[in-house]
A and B are shown apart, each in its own frame.
Chain A
Amino acid sequence: MTKKHTLLPFLITAVVLFVSMVVSIAVGSVFIPLNTFADVLKQGLTGGHSALDPSGVFLKIITDLRVPRTLLLALTGAALAGSGGAYQGLFRNPLADPFLIGVSSGAGLGAVLAIMLPVTATMSGLMSVPAAAFAGALLTVLVVVQLARVGKTVPTTNLILAGVAVNAFTSALTSALMIHSTGELRRALVWLMGGAVQTGWQPLLGVLPYMVIGLTGLVLVGHPLNVLQFGEEQAHQLGIRVQRVRWFTILLATLTTAAAVAFVGIIGFVGLVVPHIIRLTWGGDYRRLIPLSMLGGASLLLLTDVVARTVIAPQEIPVGIVTALVGGPFFLWVLHRSKAQNYW
């Protein structure tokens, strides 16, 4: 395989991501004509003021709403798809996704608990929901890992089963709490449906450290995951410290997805399906699959968000609903077209 050939997928996904970002910034429920958009952007970058935007409201919409949302969702998509790809390799299971061992249900429980606290209904409690979601996600994963642990090792089957059981239990607890709550119910539900994307720059700054560390780390586990596909015994003989790779992957995937979910709400499907699309198109080498999934996940989430924001504008749909609605058929099309037999 030539060098040029290995770079092509990266080039394609990077271009798709770039286009997705531009579309995500250019398009919204308020229509900004293309020439106005270009002029506002040009003037804004030089600190000037566009004559086509006398009140400055377009500039505000672009810089305070669309750009931070685009960046936050791009990172979220990258975290979900990258973690999903890594988990599919780690668990050697095509159904693995980043929420397999408790991040989403734990974050949901944390968020709903915080929403029910009276302090959250005040302005000073604004950060309590993301903070509680993040803590809930980490704690739940910790519980799952503890329950699945046998001595110093965590067998993957135990992890998956403990994850399924804890997810079910935690989600049921969340539902029970919601039944008992009153006015906060809607807020909780919106959060659980992935419609709680926070505005402005602070959420982005909040997730950035986790993303930088987590996404870099996940790219690096690609090689050990490749070796792991021969089986644990084999990998061990080939010099891979299986347990260490497992802990490392779980830690990185949990940190990135928990941080993303805390500020955006629960967004399903991206983490499951994007790695499969990449695998069907460019093969299952995890050194490429994980970074390509990140680029692809960012693009998919951005494009679905554009749909969510515009399809019935000025109403917006929680983006978590649209991911599966748009991503599902796309995935099925890729699956059907590839006519893959025994592709996994």
Chain B
Amino acid sequence: MKKFTLITTIIMAVLAISACGAGGAQTDAGGISLTDGLQHEVVLEKPAGRIVSLSPSVTEILFAVGAGDQVIGRDSFSNYPAEAGAIQDVGGSMGNYSYETIASLEPDLVIASGINTPEQVSALEKLDVTVYYLSNPDDLEGLYAMLRTVGELTGHSKEAQVLAASLEDRVDAIASTIASSKSTPLVFYELDGSDPAKPWTPGPGTFLDLLITAAGGKNVGAVLESEWAQISIEELLVQDPDLILLGDSIYGMTPELVSTRPGWDGLSAVKDGRLYGFNDDLVSRPGPRLVDGLEELARIIHPELYP
């Protein structure tokens, strides 16, 4: 059981949305020159036409800005959109990418993300592959900037602008709807409840914390020390959240299973049946679907505002 918790923690950490500034963008005579998240000057003669994505979030962004056709390789975990499944797998489990496979695809650009390490970037650069390190965003502004960067790298600036603008509109719409609410429900988001005595939950400073707040809720985990942490059931009973979201429902957790956990029947959310499965992929991948996740959160947290 302990091992499983550790493994899920790793998955959490992999998906952790951590900080780092986005690169400034400037174009010169036909070519593209951008500073990436590792402070590298990435120069392309023309927009990239043969792209390898090293993370699910990058793959989602590439498809969202209309560059899906240009993706010739993707990591093993890229499962969205469905078309991505047909693209050549380049590995990525436990950080082990197949550099051979990537080199053999002869990409003109590899896009790495926050889950990738400098060692991985360096390994690819030694093979004369151009790598752009796309840092994870800190906030929604960062998300829009990230989309525009990918648009520029792939020759889809216009689509990326339109996409960013529409996401911004949707976020604004949620904000104005939430503004009319009088309550701020307390939300417990469960990342991994395989140890029901101390389930994993997002702490302060995480993107999930930000999204729960933006959706008009208050995150139970905000009182914790670490960004990703195990909260004690005792603390949970004291805080007594209004609702519980099961991010681990994608691993098979259900409201019924939660209500059978010892001690959990003392929680109001369990007594009132306010337990909801939640597609964690929506909020754990720093891509355009974060806004889908935000809307979903707002609907669950404030059902009275979304009749």
Contact = CB atoms under 8 A, between A and B. Distances in A.
A30 B101 contact: yes
A15 interface: no
A189 B123 contact: no
Given A30-B104, A57-B104, A123-B38, A185 B96 contact: no
Interface in B68-92: 76, 88-92
Contact of B13 (A28, A64, A183, A315): A183
Contact of B100 (A55, A65, A120, A181): A65
B95 A195 contact: yes
A193 B106 contact: no
B96 A122 contact: no
Given A183-B114, A187-B95, A195-B96, A123 B89 contact: no
B117 interface: yes
Given A30-B101, A60-B103, A183-B18, A316 B118 contact: no
A73 to B, nearest CB: 14
B174 to A, nearest CB: 27
Contacts of A55: 106
Interface residues of A, number: 42
A213 B13 CA distance: 40
A182 B18 contact: yes
A30 B73 CA distance: 14
A181 B225 CA distance: 11
Contacts of A182: 13, 16, 18, 226-228
B167 interface: no
Contacts of A122: 38-39, 118
A187 B100 contact: no
A4 interface: no
A314 interface: yes
Given A185-B10, A186-B10, A317 B96 contact: yes
A215 B92 CA distance: 34
Given A126-B122, A314-B89, A186 B94 contact: yes
B9 interface: yes
B93 A64 contact: no
B122 A315 contact: no
A127 B119 CA distance: 9
A313 interface: yes
A58 to B, nearest CB: 8
A315 to B, nearest CB: 4
Contact of B98 (A179, A198, A316, A318): A316
Contacts of A190: 94-96
Nearest to A182: B227
Interface string A191-222: 00101101110000000000000000000000
A30 B96 contact: no
Interface residues of B, number: 41
A29 interface: yes
Given A28-B100, A123-B38, A64 B127 contact: yes
A123 B117 contact: no
A182 to B, nearest CB: 5
Which of B92, B122, B126 counts the most chain A CB atoms within 10 A?
B126
B276 interface: no
Interface in A167-189: 179-187, 189
A187 B91 contact: no
B101 A186 contact: no
A125 interface: yes
* 9 A-B pairs with the lowest CB-CB distances in the bound complex, closest first: A314-B98, A316-B96, A185-B13, A30-B100, A29-B98, A314-B101, A199-B123, A183-B18, A315-B91
22 contacts: A28-B100, A55-B106, A58-B104, A60-B103, A60-B127, A61-B104, A65-B100, A123-B38, A123-B122, A126-B119, A126-B122, A186-B10, A186-B13, A187-B95, A190-B96, A199-B99, A199-B123, A199-B126, A200-B126, A309-B98, A313-B101, A314-B90
Interface of A: 28-30, 55, 57-58, 60-61, 64-66, 120-123, 125-126, 129, 179-187, 189-190, 193, 195-196, 198-200, 309, 313-318
Interface of B: 9-10, 13-14, 16, 18, 38-40, 76, 88-101, 103-104, 106, 114-115, 117-119, 121-123, 126-128, 226-228
